[in-house]
Amino acid sequence: MANTVVPFELFGPDYFRDPYTALDWLRVNSPVHPYVFPVGNVPMWVVTRYDDALAILGDTRFSTAEWRGSPEFQASGLSISAGTVLAQTIPGLDPPQHTKVRRCAMAAFTPRNVDRWREDIRRVIEMTVDGWAPGQERDLVAEFAALIPSEVISTRLGFTLERREQLARDVDLLISTDPADFPRIPGARERIIAYGRELVALKRAQPGDDLTSAFIRAADEEGRITQDELDALVIIMIIAGVGTTKMFITNAMLALLDHPDQLKTVADDPGVLAGPGIEELLRYESPVASVPWRFPTEDVRVGGQEIAAGEPVMVMVASANRDPEVFPDPHRLDLGRTGARHLGLGHGIHNCLGAAAARLISEMALATLIGRFPGLRLAIPRDEIRRHEVWALNDYRALPVVL
């Protein structure tokens, strides 16, 4: 693996202040970029062009199963599952196991079924903004984006909220790549797993009108998935519910604040968020900067580079979604944009299972907030908005606004 000299520190502090300048450089100068991940000194690849990303995500020779990673990856501590039941979650499975587990969950997440969530979502949004008034300062991360999807998914999964804050902290720890967090990650992983299993046991004993009970019924009726696979299915729903939709609502609101003309478009007609509007916000800055690692099961050539079996590949959808060869004027938000499909929710067999739910929750939350407070603005200078320095995510620490 030859090294390519770049004029910046990839995933360093300057990168997180402005990742798109670095990704633009890579896309032009080293689109399949050899990189040594600093945690564990793991040789891997960073892929930034849309066409290469699309090809990898649709290529069955690229696995998401962490056990297929190189020896350096296995020894690094970067594995999220670490040999636990988390290895059985849908994002980390290959066919045919992936196919049978996903089939068990799919019926609950069809657009028609998710549309039945509207009243729950509306109730949660109204409860969240109750008492908000013009002139107040609010942090849209802690007081809005973090609360709404977590409450909705909690309700739909059927779990109580006493542990919500702890679960949110544990999810943040689980995906951290800060070495200082590593000693606490096993405990976070164990708590998340324990709660998922506890919830499945509870709903098996006391079934209700919720997703967990539906998953149990599907598993029992079809008899095709194991107890570990069922537990893992519920666990990944918990992780996703307290994480990715929160990030997307935050990112979308910041993108609109950065584009006042588009914010005014939404204020004049919140319905513009439906359809192409929400897709453009997902393209512009999706919750994930990179999908979970891909591991080639054999030597594969991509963009002129030979990638050896097992070498981790970062597919940077944040870069692919701003590839000017595919999206004209890609750094501009245009809610009326049509054309190529973005990769913000993945592609191929591992496209986001909860995509319909994420779209609906985000669309309704943004439409309500902007409809009520069309003149909201940042409460601090734009250059003081800070990201969490997690390479795989587009995640902001706080978003203070004046209503």
- 3-state DSSP assignment of residue 315: strand
Whether residue 387 lies inside any domain: the answer is yes
Confidence band, pLDDT 50/70/90 cuts, at residue 3: low
Q: What percent of the chain has pLDDT over 90?
A: 54
pLDDT tens for residues 305-315?
999 999 999 99
Confidence band, pLDDT 50/70/90 cuts, at residue 266: very high
Closest CA to 316 of 100, 33, 48, 110: 48
Residue 227 sits in a domain whose CATH number is 1.10.630.10
pLDDT given at position 160: 65
Closest CA to 326 of 313, 307, 312, 339: 339
Asked whether residue 27 carries a pLDDT value surpassing 90, the answer given is yes
CA distances, 40 to each of 64, 83, 182, 296, 328 (Å)? 20, 18, 12, 20, 38
CA 311 to chain centre: 23
Quote the CA–CA distance of 153 and 237 in Å, as a whole number. 8
Confidence band, pLDDT 50/70/90 cuts, at residue 334: very high
Quote the CA–CA distance of 150 and 144 in Å, as a whole number. 10
- Which range has the worst mean pLDDT, 13-27, 166-180, 256-270, 347-361? 166-180
Whether residue 74 lies inside any domain: the answer is no
Whether residue 297 lies inside any domain: the answer is no
- The residue ranges of DSSP E strands in 170-215, in sequence order, are none
Whether residue 65 lies inside any domain: the answer is no
Whether residue 12 lies inside any domain: the answer is no
Contact by Cβ (8 Å): 117, 245: no
Q: What residues pair up with 47 in beta bridges, in sequence order?
A: 32, 315
pLDDT tens for residues 97-137?
878 888 777 777 777 778 888 999 999 999 999 999 999 99
Whether residue 172 lies inside any domain: the answer is yes
Whether residue 295 lies inside any domain: the answer is no
pTM of the model: 0.91
Q: What is the largest CA-CA distance in the chain?
A: 59
Q: What is the mean pLDDT of the chain?
A: 89
Quote the CA–CA distance of 93 and 99 in Å, as a whole number. 9
- Tally of domains in the chain: 1
Range of the domain at 365: 82-285+327-402
- Which range has the worst mean pLDDT, 23-27, 44-48, 166-170, 390-394? 166-170
Whether residue 17 lies inside any domain: the answer is no
